[in-house]
Amino acid sequence: MKDAWHAFLAALPVTRPYLLLLAVIAGFMVAERLLPAERNQPIRNRILTGEFTLLYLLVTPLVIVLPVYLAAKITSATGGSLLTINLDQVRTGSPPLDGVLHYILLPVLPFVVFDFFYYWHHRLQHTLPALWEQHKLHHMDESLYCLSSGRHHWLEEAIRGFTITIPMTFLIALGAVQGAMIVFVIGQWAIFIHANVRLPLGPFTPVLTGPQLHRIHHSREIRHADKNFAAFLPLWDILFGTYCRPLPGEWPATGLTNRERVSDFWAGVALPFHAWVPAMLAHSRRAGSALLRSRRD
């Protein structure tokens, strides 16, 4: 019994991030009840989103093994990243400058770099048909709420590894503390921007992505299609022509314009393969036919 108690105490530091995550989710669920952007969301929609989120959280550690391994190999082969950020080692000899670097510039820089790569990753998901077939599960959500941040297909993080993690390793290397911090903040921020909370950011709307701006991205209205891709900084949308500022009081209905959606868990798990497999078979048939023609000629 004593050994079990010591094992429990030893495991507490590991469980703290998960407990904090649950506390954050619980807090947003309370806020969604008090100040909802959309009232009376169907409970079945919310449960289905929760199921997809749970699978996403369980499978992500497995599907990112290969991208993380390749990123480490690339870093080793290229001699490391162009820029290394380790706040514990920042020393310029000037306390005021150290303070600016340590508490303002360097902590923010990784988020700026991440958001740049995330913007283009996200935009490609809406542009390339193969990636859209994997991403559209996220956009089929007609009851957007805080758990929608994890309503991704289980292959999502594996793909992000190649479009975000590996490119970032060429530019920036983070210390263990900074790496853990950015992962934690990204997770909490994703919950925030998907929350079903009527919380406009007013004059800060073009500065930081919030629930209202991101809801435009999830809108089923045609005029909102392919807008507001950035996770943190609308700056990227403004620079690259995809920014759409919401009108005062605008909280549109969400989902796909054609109202396509999945009604059960397993249909979502297999969703992209229904498009990928026929496309690969058709490509194989065309390639085989071309090969036979070339041999006859």
Report the mean per-residue pLDDT for the chain.
Answer: 86
Residue 13 has pLDDT above 80, yes or no: no
Residue 175 has pLDDT above 90, yes or no: no
Instruction: Kindly report which listed range (129-133, 139-143, 167-171, 203-207) carries the lowest average pLDDT score.
Output: 167-171
pLDDT tens digits along 284-296:
888 887 777 777 7
Pick from 80, 115, 88, 110: which is nearest to 181 by CA? 110
pLDDT value at residue 194: 97
pLDDT tens digits along 200-219:
999 999 999 999 999 999 99
Q: What tokens appear for 57 in the block?
A: 């959280």
pLDDT tens digits along 21-58:
788 899 999 999 999 999 999 999 999 999 999 999 99
pLDDT value at residue 292: 77
Query: Distances from the Cα of 282 to the Cαs of 22, 135, 149, 212, 218, in angstroms?
Result: 45, 22, 34, 41, 32
pLDDT value at residue 208: 96
Listed by start position, the domains of the chain span 42-280
pLDDT value at residue 20: 79
pLDDT value at residue 91: 64
pLDDT bucket at 87, cuts 50 / 70 / 90? low
Say what percent of the chain tops pLDDT 90. Answer: 60
Q: Rounded to two decimals, what is the model's pTM?
A: 0.86
pLDDT bucket at 271, cuts 50 / 70 / 90? very high
Instruction: Kindly report which listed range (123-132, 141-150, 155-164, 178-187) carries the lowest average pLDDT score.
Output: 178-187
